Structure 1
Amino acid sequence: MYLLAIAVILTALKYFEIGPVANMDWWWILGFYGATIVWWAWADATGYTKRKAMEKMATRKQDRINKNKEALGIAPRKPR
């Protein structure tokens, strides 16, 4: 996602001819879009994206369980 943000910012800077980016070739900027595509393809192929989403859901679930236990007056389990 960071690569895409950089690519969009560089595109805007190049289009409006701001700073040193105005003198760069378009190939450099298109390279960031290509790197973004390669990153997303790798992340999807290796399961990185899905694994991160599952970790986030597990953390949210445990936080919710701990919050409910605290509301009931039960001490939450400490993670191992």
Structure 2
Amino acid sequence: MHTVNIHEAKTHLSRLVEKAALGEGFVIAKAGKPLVKVVPLNAPEANQVRRIGFLAGEIMVPDDFDTMGSQEIEALFGGSL
């Protein structure tokens, strides 16, 4: 993400806003310290990004997933091989 200082942001605000509206967000900094991030309104917020289920239909989980390897695990922790 591109960083601009406050003076540059004031000078080129129209151009920067147009780019942000097209999806090219930017950060405004003061004395090199980032202050704000400008992103298009349709961009998802960090807390809105939904990760659960993002592979739905892409992978298959076996029906015995919860018991897979249980005998080997019991042998390792039970002391008998």
Q: TM-score, normalised by structure 2?
A: 0.30
Q: Where is the strand percentage greater, Structure 1 or Structure 2?
A: 2
Largest Rg, 1 or 2: 2
